[in-house]
Chain A
């Protein structure tokens, strides 16, 4: 069948004798065969793009979320306001982060950050015009580290040497007496938080205090009154709410996307010795440094009952009731703050806790498994906290509403309820698929997105879309501390102010007491006390 044959020589006339002639029209058309294919491709590409955009916009429009602001990274605006002289009380691991937020970094950390490529993120921070002017720690080694940090010349935001030499204080009282200190950051073990806060407020120093604020009602009331009477700016050390994701969550709550919220589930899932506060050994299994010659043990103990010095107690204080409320104080506080910032739930009417030491059978008093139920009958709402130190299985923070649920973590995923009346017509029209997230927000993509494709849904559901490589990493603790400093200069109230801290502390004390006393705790709003 010769007609079926396509021979280059024959049919296309490409041979030497024909080369000089014009190529036949048929041949040219053949050569351009790709053109209609590309035309079709371009047409279909435009159609697909329009379909995706329309669908996305329609969902966002219906939900009233179309005009969401994309997160804006702050620019380095240079020094603002007068120089603020800050002292840090308690220079342990957490204080390093505080110093970083103030724009100071230890020379060792410069090298570490160079190695893991995060030094740029630090240097990019705004110059807050702060002098790290005082360090107070009962342990010489820790204090030395603080001093070295304050003296380091590597500063964030290109800050210049403020010309204020750093001073070490042997006691916090000494620091509070010093007129050359304007504000203090408290990062001691928890049993010192409330007493130092109260003393600092009375000395007229602004306070940034790590959570949790108080272990009992009496010291809480004292700190509350001292701060209120002095008019200083107080900020409790929570940072979750500073994340971009949280600002979007706030908008979602404001627009009532979830419908009536009746249950909020918060969790802690940790499965490591470090996570269970076993921190007194170094990488080689030897006890970490520190003895009674280098640690002012009596000052460390403060008002708590005397016990002989031990490295275990010094590093693992979170295990003991005298200094802490454990899972509640260390971890649930963040959860409570997150929920309270979003929903303003305030103090619960009732709290019930249960749990025990199920896994870490060492000398601890603190439960390693704990469940707390916080009831808000006036809000038709229950807040649950479930914590384990023996399973890293991720359980998210979920707000459950009648129309949708929201999982809030590093990203937001909102899943519509198939029974929702509000989204009924969208579900029927295929605009919303209740089997996957209807809205996802991932901080790195920089904007809220209605999920359109199956793969995107899958990634979003698993949180796999989260990457911080394209956007600049900004430390949320830095943002929280910056808010505090901005408020000191402007005189406004920061987000985790004393009223918020009070609600949170009461909720935590109720939960802790419920565990200790094996009974349901009740809040008496008239008498302003736990009964």
Chain B
């Protein structure tokens, strides 16, 4: 029943480094929103094209909704960042992070014909760094390292203990 996971040191180092790097990035994205006075996702939503444009407009038109989105964005990013760095509930953090990043991507994907008033910091065609980061998080969710290098090790031990008591 037990699955044995074997990584080479190089593999493990690379995976953990990737986890730390993405964690760091998302954590800072979250904090920077917290630190900018009156930060709001309004500007970002204004640029929304493609399938989520309607939803973005709805959020912009409802101040309460905008506040909720702003709050979830900021604190969601911080929580995901911390989860990845600490390796705590890292699988959940990876999946939600991937979903959140995909949401960003889906709001302004670099598709042919979709034009934005703000230039991107790179050159993209369909694939952007946001999409790649989202995909990288899926990889991290599927190949977890947090039970070796991360607080999830304790979580796993705790779960096992609980199961044994039940048995």
Chain B residue, CB-CB nearest to A464:
B43
Known: A4-B8, A6-B6, A469-B40. A31 touches B61 (CB 8 A): no
Least Cβ distance of B167 to chain A in Å?
11
Which of A9, A23, A34 is close to B86, meaning CB atoms less than 8 Å apart? A34
Are B156 and A33 within 8 A (Cβ)? no
Which of A6, A41, A464, A470 is close to B118, meaning CB atoms less than 8 Å apart? A464
Distance, CA A7 to CA B3, complexed state (A): 11
The answer to whether B85 has its CB under 8 Å from any CB of chain A is yes
Which of B5, B35, B62, B118 is close to A458, meaning CB atoms less than 8 Å apart? B118
The answer to whether B87 has its CB under 8 Å from any CB of chain A is yes
- Binding stretch for chain A, among B48-56, B104-112, B134-142, B157-165: B157-165
The interface residues of chain A lying within 8 Å CB-to-CB of B157 are: 14, 19, 23
Distance, CA A37 to CA B9, complexed state (A): 19
Chain B interface mostly: helix
Which of B42, B117, B154 is close to A31, meaning CB atoms less than 8 Å apart? B154
Are B150 and A34 within 8 A (Cβ)? yes
The interface residues of chain B lying within 8 Å CB-to-CB of A14 are: 153, 156-157
Distance, CA A12 to CA B153, complexed state (A): 10
The answer to whether A359 has its CB under 8 Å from any CB of chain B is no
Which of B38, B42, B164 is close to A445, meaning CB atoms less than 8 Å apart? B38
User: Interface size class for chain A?
Assistant: 35 or more
The answer to whether B80 has its CB under 8 Å from any CB of chain A is no
Known: A6-B12, A34-B86. A469 touches B148 (CB 8 A): no
A interface footprint on B13-45 (CB within 8 Å = 1, 0 otherwise)? 000100010011001100100010110101100
The interface residues of chain B lying within 8 Å CB-to-CB of A462 are: 117
The answer to whether A117 has its CB under 8 Å from any CB of chain B is yes
Determine which residue in B31, B43, B148 has the highest number of CB atoms from chain A within 10 A of its CB, and name it.
Answer: B148
The answer to whether B68 has its CB under 8 Å from any CB of chain A is no
The answer to whether A152 has its CB under 8 Å from any CB of chain B is no
Which of B2, B35, B82, B154 is close to A38, meaning CB atoms less than 8 Å apart? B82
Determine which residue in A45, A458, A462 has the highest number of CB atoms from chain B within 10 A of its CB, and name it.
Answer: A45
Which positions 1-39 of chain A face chain B at CB distance < 8 Å? 4-9, 12, 14, 16, 19, 23, 27, 30-35, 37-38
Known: A14-B153, A30-B153, A38-B82. A445 touches B4 (CB 8 A): no
Are B38 and A444 within 8 A (Cβ)? yes
Least Cβ distance of A350 to chain B in Å?
41
Known: A6-B7, A7-B4. A31 touches B28 (CB 8 A): no
Which of B6, B20, B43 is close to A34, meaning CB atoms less than 8 Å apart? B20
Are A19 and B161 within 8 A (Cβ)? yes
The answer to whether A49 has its CB under 8 Å from any CB of chain B is yes
Least Cβ distance of A272 to chain B in Å?
21
Are A470 and B148 within 8 A (Cβ)? no
B interface footprint on A212-227 (CB within 8 Å = 1, 0 otherwise)? 0000000000000000
Which positions 249-283 of chain A face chain B at CB distance < 8 Å? none
User: Interface size class for chain B?
Assistant: 35 or more
The interface residues of chain B lying within 8 Å CB-to-CB of A117 are: 61-63
Chain A residue, CB-CB nearest to B31:
A45
The answer to whether B102 has its CB under 8 Å from any CB of chain A is no
The interface residues of chain A lying within 8 Å CB-to-CB of B85 are: 34, 37-38, 41
Are B38 and A49 within 8 A (Cβ)? no
The interface residues of chain B lying within 8 Å CB-to-CB of A471 are: 38
Are B27 and A41 within 8 A (Cβ)? yes
The answer to whether B151 has its CB under 8 Å from any CB of chain A is yes
Are A31 and B24 within 8 A (Cβ)? no
Distance, CA A459 to CA B7, complexed state (A): 46
Distance, CA A413 to CA B83, complexed state (A): 40
Distance, CA A14 to CA B147, complexed state (A): 10
Distance, CA A458 to CA B116, complexed state (A): 14
Distance, CA A46 to CA B30, complexed state (A): 14
Are B37 and A33 within 8 A (Cβ)? no
Are A6 and B9 within 8 A (Cβ)? yes
Which of A8, A38, A445, A446 is close to B5, meaning CB atoms less than 8 Å apart? A8
Are B5 and A31 within 8 A (Cβ)? no
The answer to whether B99 has its CB under 8 Å from any CB of chain A is no
Are B5 and A464 within 8 A (Cβ)? no
Are B86 and A38 within 8 A (Cβ)? yes
Which chain A residues have a beta carbon within 8 Å of chain B's beta carbons?
A: 4-9, 12, 14, 16, 19, 23, 27, 30-35, 37-38, 41, 45, 49, 117, 444-447, 458-459, 462, 464-465, 467, 469-471
> Could you list some 21 contacts between A and B, CB below 8 A?
A4-B10, A5-B6, A5-B7, A5-B8, A6-B6, A6-B12, A8-B5, A8-B6, A9-B2, A9-B4, A19-B157, A27-B153, A31-B150, A32-B151, A35-B86, A38-B82, A41-B24, A41-B27, A117-B61, A464-B117, A470-B38
User: Sorted from nearest, which 4 A-B pairs have the closest CB atoms?
Assistant: A34-B86, A34-B85, A33-B149, A31-B153
